[in-house]
Amino acid sequence: MAGEKFYKKPLSVLLMSAFILPGMGQFVNGQIFKGIIFLVGTLGPLIALVTHIILFFTRNFDMIWNSFNNAPEPLTTPSISIPLVIGLVIAFLFFYFYGMIDAYIVAHKKMQHNNQPSSL
Q: Over the chain, what is the mean pLDDT?
A: 80
DSSP string, 27-45: HHHT-HHHHHHHHHHHHHH
Question: Does pLDDT of 1 surpass 50?
Answer: no
Residues contacting residue 26 through CB under 8 Å, at least 6 positions apart: 18, 32, 34, 35, 38, 99, 102, 103, 106
Cα separations in angstroms, 12 against 16, 20, 108: 6, 12, 11
Find the mean pLDDT for residues 2-31: 73
Cβ count near 42 (within 10 Å): 22
Sign of CA dihedral 30, 33, 36, 38: negative
| Per-residue pLDDT band at 2 (split at 50, 70, 90) | very low
Predicted model pTM: 0.72
| Tens digit of each residue's pLDDT (9 = 90 or more) over 64-89 | 677 676 656 655 656 778 899 999 99
Higher pLDDT, 13 or 30: 30
